[in-house]
Structures are given as C-alpha cells and as structure tokens.
Amino acid sequence: MQTAEIRRRFLEHFAQRGHTVVPSASLISPDPSLLFTVAGMVPFIPYLTGREPAPYPRATSVQKCVRTLDIEEVGKTTRHGTFFQMNGNFSFGDYFKDGAIQHAWELITGRVEDGGLGFDPEQIWATVYLDDDEAADAWHRIAGLPKERIQRLGKADNYWHTGAPGPAGPCSEIYIDRGPEFGPDGGPAVDTAGDRFLEIWNLVFMQYEIDEVRGKEEFRILGELPKKNIDTGMGLERVAYLLQGVDNMYEIDEVAPVLRRAAELAGVTYGRDHEVDVRLRVVADHVRSGLMLIGDGITPGNEGRGYILRRLLRRAVRSMKLLGIDEATLPELLPVSRDAMSASYPELATDFARISAIAYAEEEAFRRTLSAGTTLFDTAVKQARAAGKPALSGDQAFSLHDTYGFPIDVTLEMAAEQGVTVDEEGFRALMKEQRDRARADARAKRTGSVDVAAYRRLLAEHGPTDWQAYDTLRTDSRVLALVSESEEDAATTGPGEIVRVVLDRTPFYAESGGQVADAGVLAWDGGRAEVIDVQRPVKGLVAHQVRVLEGELREGAELTAEVDYEWRLSACQAHSGTHVVHAALRQVLGPQALQSGSYNRPGYLRLDFAWQGALSRQQRTDIEDVANAAVRADHKVTASYMTLPEAQAVGALALFGETYGEQVRVVEIGGPWSRELCGGTHVRGSAQIGTLALTGESSVGSGSRRVEAAVGLEGFRYLARERDLVRQLADLLKSPQDGLVERVSGMLARLRDVDKELAELRAQQSVAAAGQLAAAAKDVDGVAVVTGSPSGLNGGDLRTLALDVRGRLSDRPAVVLLASEAGGKVALVAALNPAALERGLSANDVLRAAAAPVGGRGGGKTDIAQGGGTDPAGIPAALQAGEQAVATATGR
C-alpha cells in the first residue's frame, strides 16, 4: 500500500467519524521555543492545554514533522530520520479512552477493501500505564485483545507530559509483532530494542494536571482536568514499511527512489556494504527533508532553521562526494524526491522552480566552500601535527564554521578520516554562546529583561488584550499592570522612567509581520508618556514600552491611548507598498520570485525574495514602473477573514516564516492582482501609498535577493535629492541635464587615455631607473648588491622595479633592496636571483633587517619578500641594514 494511500485512508477514516480534517501546519513551528514542528500535536497545543477554546470537538491531521537531535545517527540505524509524517486524531473534551481505542482498532484491523489497513489482529499488542485499569479493560472489552497481549509499563514508557506544569496523563501504545525472525517472543516489555515488536501508534489520555515537574518520572499530580483530551500519533513511515514489506523507512515508496538514483549515479549497489548503505540513506533522507523544508519557505542560512537546512543539504552533497561523485548531484536527486512526494503534497510540483533554484544554488555554494574549507582544514591539521597535538581546537572548528561556512559534521568526518580529533565540546560551547546572544537579543526585543512568565500570569488573570488597531487610533483604556525590567511588577512609575505597560484595550499596532510598532502617547489626568515600542510578549497580550514624560503613572489608571496619525499613515504606506512591490516582482520576474522576508517602517520598505543573480537595470526599471502604475490606478485595498484552506483556494499567498491559525486575514490590492495573508495595517486605496522609488537591490545569501524602496513623502524626497544632484553635476560640468551621461562618458574616456599615457611614462622611467640602479651595484664578497630609494612608488610598482633590476644582473649573484616613501608610508622589497640563493642568502633575512629601522615588518619567499613601514626617515638606515645583512651572511 502506497504511503499516500495510507495517508488518505487515515484521514477518511476519522472524517467519517465526525473529525474535522485539519491540513498540516507548516514545518515552521508556531511555538517560539521550537525551530520546527516536531510532533503532530504541536499545532493543537493551545487547545489541548486549554489556553484557547478548540474550534471543533474532534480533529484529525497528517502533520509534517522534522527532528534533528540525532542527525548524526541518520543512516547508521534503520530508525533515525529527520523528516517524517505523523498521523493524529484529537478529541478536545469529547470522547476519551474508549473512543480512542475503538477508532484505532477499527482502522488498523479493518479490511483493506473496506478502507482499513488490514493488519492481522493476532499480530497486535498494546501497552498501558501500570495502574490504568480503564485502558487495559477497554482494549480487552472493545478490541477483544487477549489480556496476555496487553502489557503494563511504567512512567518512562507510558506516561506523557510536556516537561512543564500543565496537562498530563497515561498513554497506550500499539505494537505490531513482525515475527520470530526479528527476535524472541514476549511482547514490547521484553523487546526493548523494538526490532520484533514495532510501535506504530501512541494514544495519549490527557486527564490530569501536574506541577513540581523534576523529570520524566518525577512530578506531582494536582487532580483531574475539567476536560479530558485525546492526543494520538501514528508514524506514517513506520506503517508504510510494514505494509510495503520492506525493512525500514529508507526503503518505502517516498524515500527509496532517491536512494536508488543515488546508487546509480555512484555506481554502487545498496545492501552490500554498510558504509555505502549509510551514505545512501543519508542522501535519501536529507534530500527529502531539504525538499520539504524549502517547500515550507525555509532558506539556507547560518543560524536557526536556515542552518539546519544548510546542514542537511551539505551532508547529502558531502555523502555523494564520499561515494565518488564530484559533479553537482541535487539536479539529479531533487526531482526524484519531488515525484515521490507530490502525490501527498502537490504544491511541491507547482513550486518546484523556486525550491530547486534554492537547493541547486546551495549545492554550488557548498562545493566552493568545500574546496576552500578543505584547504584551510588541511592547513590547520598540519599546524596541529607540527605542534605535536593531532587535534583541532574548538576555536579552529568554530572559525571554519562561522567564518568559512564549514559545517562541524564535515569537520568531524574529515578529522576522523585523517586520524585527528576535534575539541567538539569547545566548539559546542562557542556555538552556544553565539546562540544565547542571539536569543537574548530577540527576547530582549520582545519582553525586555522580564521573564515571560510574568506576562503569562497577566494573560491568565485578565484575558487577552482588546486589540483595536484595525478600527481606531484612539481608545479609552485602563492600566492592568506596569512591568519594569528591574522588578516584575511596579505599582507606579514617574518622569524619565521607562516601563512596559499592559492595557485592557489598545489601538497600537504591535511589531509583527515585518511592520514596526506604532508610535504615539498615553495621556491621563496629570500625566503623559510616549510610546516607544509595542510588542506581543505572549500570544494575545500587548505590552507597550513607554517613557514617562510628566506625572505619575499608576496601575489601574484610566487613560487615553492614541496612535500618532502621521506615523500610522506612513507605516500603512510602507506596508501596502511592500505588497505592491511583491506583486510587481512576481509580474516582472515570474511566480517563483516569492517573498521570504520583509521589513517596513514609515517611509521605507525592504523585501527579500527568492531569486538567483542580480537584477538588470531594465528589470529594476520595470518593477518600479509596474509598482507605480498600481499606485496610480488607485486599486481598492480590502481585508477579509476566512479559513486557511479557503484563502489558499482563492490564491492568497501565505508568506514563508509565518504561522497562521484557522481563521486568516486576507489583504487584497486590486482583487487578485495582490492577494496575501497579512495581519498588518494598510492604506484604503493604493494611490494613498504615494511615490514609490526603488533605492537598492542586493544579495542577502545564496538564492535570495533584497530590494529596498523609499515610500510616500520619503520617496518624493529621495527623488528630489537625486534631481538636485543631477542639477549640481550639470552646473559643474556646464552641460544640459539630458547630456550628462555623454559628457561624463567622454571625461572618463579621456581619463583612461591619460592613465594609459602615465603608465607608459612610468614604465619608461622604470626601465631607465632599473638600468641606473643595476649599473650602480656594489660588490659585496662576490655578490652584486643594489640598494635604492625611488620616491612615490607603491608596493606593486616597487616590486616590478626590483624584479627588473634583478633580471639585469643574471650573470652573477645579486641582491636588490629597494625602499620608497609614498603618502607617509614606506614600501620595501628584497629580490634575489638563483645564484644568490645558492650562496645561502634569503630575501626574508634581508627584508627583516631592513624593516626594523622604518618601524615595519614583512616577509615572503626566499627569492622575493615584501613589507612596509611607518617611518620614512629610517629609509637610509634600512638600506644600510639590508646591505650589512648580506655582508654578514657572506662572511665579511
């Protein structure tokens, strides 16, 4: 049975039993503490924990997941993979243990012709928590499972909680007996390796509230939850390889085609050599994971999700290289993975141009990195061995990673191949320091130095903020809390102090979606404060960072919250302008030019998008023209709410890196011309955007470009500054404005001619000088020594002159030492011919002797060395010191 068919049957089974089918959430986790969605229940956490009311009593999904904690184990075992799919069914205070067990049993044992999975009931075992008599009885009563195939295990195996105070409960796991060829009988309790009895489904019964959590098995149960929930997870890949009769997840229909193609390219056979098999599995797993991550909008980078993606792609490329393939391989492998996965995820096929462009660019970049990094690695290894320590320090490994983009796993693999160790602990410590700094910066932006728990308590006590930013610029509000960075709560605050204020309602837009926060004031009887930042420290709560200007602000105070009208208007212009530029990009460049990030503030917008190579002048002009035509057309700007599937059905663009709930806000500019999911504030008509002028275009990484623009009044000011600059240049050059390009081109051509004439003149002077210097050579114990100090030459010209002089003295041993002063700096060059080298002389020794008197240093090869200094007055002494070094070396 194909994986896509198992997926379809699962969803249909639960849909027929009253479950709402919920599309898979993005691999980008909605939980800020997670890089990726790591389990099927992650999108449902707010409903399972009771933080938000569930929009449906029961739901089902097949959730895309990525876990990378054991990335080094991928391929070495048949169990470890990075991307996987988790089938799940969920009940939010509806059915409980009986219902979960009945639904599961009916699906796994149901006849294939009736839509079931067709597992033999005699092969099924279940585990329950030690004292969960209710679950054990349900398995026997509902499923008819013999009591000897219902085993009781402890908290380590059959109890679930998040690791923090909150909901928890026992769980029941479903196992398939694969037969005696995979191990001894005795059930899951005996088969701790899990080779014979394979777990395919975990049913979690959330029924208790716990606190004092000290570990997996150490916590205190406070009591039963008011609503008991069901959270289940069935591993789709595990079920697939059981139903497809293969040994592991790498051999199922969605993974094996890549493995087979990789083996063909490398000219190897899977299943004959463990080391080869490991590399093929790494390739198959990582190519699929890379495809899915890029499909969800993640781009390779040096931190966070981007780094994980980069690591996966580079491990795949490196594995192919170790299999003997030096050419680019992703163009061969990625389409194979697309074809295998698109039955379940058709968007991979429609979006493949963008996905493949990013992946292929990353491979090319890594191939260059691999070449340069290997050289640096080899140098570091040589230095380590020369020092008698066959080990690379954490600093060296971190430098290879941070400065040159060399992944640590590649460093470790190469080190192991050469019998060298790596201080991985030191590297990890440096990486942790870097991550901690980044997280601290992000956390400080969102919550200041305040523990987020303080905001969670406020949310629990007062409920979510009544947020009215879309409807008004002014509200009558009440201060719920003052949160300072020196202490969690402050009763009052006075002039000059900065504090975070939580209001019961607010008109202020909190920074999100690339749009900066509103500015404005809070005013109360006898006082006033300026709002300098607005954030959402936890979902549902808005916190205003304010500076008190006058009076005393107290908790419970009634006040007026008012947004600065000009600030909001300019911010709306910038945000709507971002949508217009995005639509213009897609119209000019094609649908693959999708936005991957943005930032907009009053008067300015910045938009990052997927694209290879710099834009041409004509493309920039066309994008600006299309954008301004849309502004002039005064398209109507509207916002409406709908479900995510409805928004996708009408073609709304869901921007990468964002997470969305069941209800989404769709912003349209000119109807379908620009239709995006967006939570920002916007103008009412596109003409309100005003002038839109592109000011820059640049690269922000492999496969990603950035455009910047000035908007509204700032756009007009930018164009006015350019106009004034053109006028000033026209006046200076005494040329009409429309003739400036021709005039400047002519001047540049004349300057190039003059530069050429000067170069020829310098060459003639150099030839003459070389002859004069060579003729003035001194004999020092049979060595012709030339010293001189031509003025005004830079290091390159001085080197050319020294080599010319050396060439004129080929009939005998010769040493040339020249020094030149230019701009208060000293350039030094020492050059020796082969005959001088045979006498035991070295250009490095001569240069070091000459460098000291001019306060400099330098070095090079034995035949030519170059350096510099800072004291031109020491040039005569430098030349004398160099001559003396020759005399000493020759024995005079």
* Domain range list for the chain: 3-244, 255-442, 452-562, 568-721, 770-890
Closest of 462, 532, 482, 471 to residue 506, by C-alpha: 471
| Beta bridge pairs of residue 522 | 529, 561
Q: In whole angstroms, give the CA distance from residue 645 to residue 839.
A: 84
Q: Which residue has the higher pLDDT, 169 or 411?
A: 169
Phi, psi of 828 (to 5 degrees): -125, 140
Mind listing the pLDDT tens digit for each residue in 806-864? 988 988 999 999 999 888 899 999 999 999 998 889 999 999 999 999 998 888 888 99
Mind listing the pLDDT tens digit for each residue in 329-345? 999 999 999 999 999 99
Closest of 654, 638, 681 to residue 511, by C-alpha: 681
Mind listing the pLDDT tens digit for each residue in 669-678? 999 999 999 9
Q: Which DSSP symbol is given to 510?
A: P
Cβ-proximal residues to 77 (8 Å cutoff; 6+ apart), any chain: none
Domains 3-244 and 770-890 share a fold: no
What does the pLDDT read at residue 640? 94
pLDDT band with cut points at 50, 70 and 90 for residue 424: confident
Q: Which residue has the higher pLDDT, 53 or 316?
A: 316
Span 341-352, mean pLDDT? 92
What does the pLDDT read at residue 398? 82
Closest of 777, 848, 792 to residue 824, by C-alpha: 792
Least confident of 419-433, 558-572, 768-782: 419-433
Mind listing the pLDDT tens digit for each residue in 776-809? 899 888 899 999 988 878 888 889 889 999 988 9
Q: Which residues are annotated as a binding site?
A: 575, 579, 678, 682
- Could you give the C-alpha distances from 583 to 220, 558, 624, 673, 675, in angstroms and in order? 55, 44, 11, 7, 9
Least confident of 34-43, 173-182, 286-295: 34-43
**Sign, CA torsion 309/312/315/321:** negative
Span 709-717, mean pLDDT? 94
Mind listing the pLDDT tens digit for each residue in 274-313? 989 999 999 999 999 999 999 988 888 767 788 889 889 9
Q: Which residues are annotated as a binding site for Zn(2+)?
A: 575, 579, 678, 682
User: Which residue type occupies 25?
Assistant: A
Mind listing the pLDDT tens digit for each residue in 473-531? 999 999 999 987 654 456 778 898 999 999 999 999 999 888 999 999 999 999 999 99
CATH, domain 770-890, list 3.40.30.10, 3.10.105.10, 3.10.310.40, 3.30.70.1450: 3.10.310.40
Mind listing the pLDDT tens digit for each residue in 79-133? 678 999 999 999 999 999 999 999 999 999 999 999 999 999 999 999 999 999 9
Instruction: Work out the mean pLDDT of the chain and round it to a whole number.
Output: 88
DSSP H helices in 706-739: 713-733
H/E stretch holding 547: strand 541-550
Q: Is the pLDDT of residue 449 over 50?
A: no
| CATH architecture observed for domain 452-562 | Beta Barrel (2.40)
Closest of 271, 241, 273, 269 to residue 254, by C-alpha: 241
CATH topology of domain 568-721: Threonyl-tRNA Synthetase; Chain A, domain 2 (3.30.980)
Span 553-575, mean pLDDT? 95
| CATH architecture observed for domain 3-244 | 2-Layer Sandwich (3.30)
Length of the chain: 892
Q: Is the pLDDT of residue 141 over 90?
A: yes
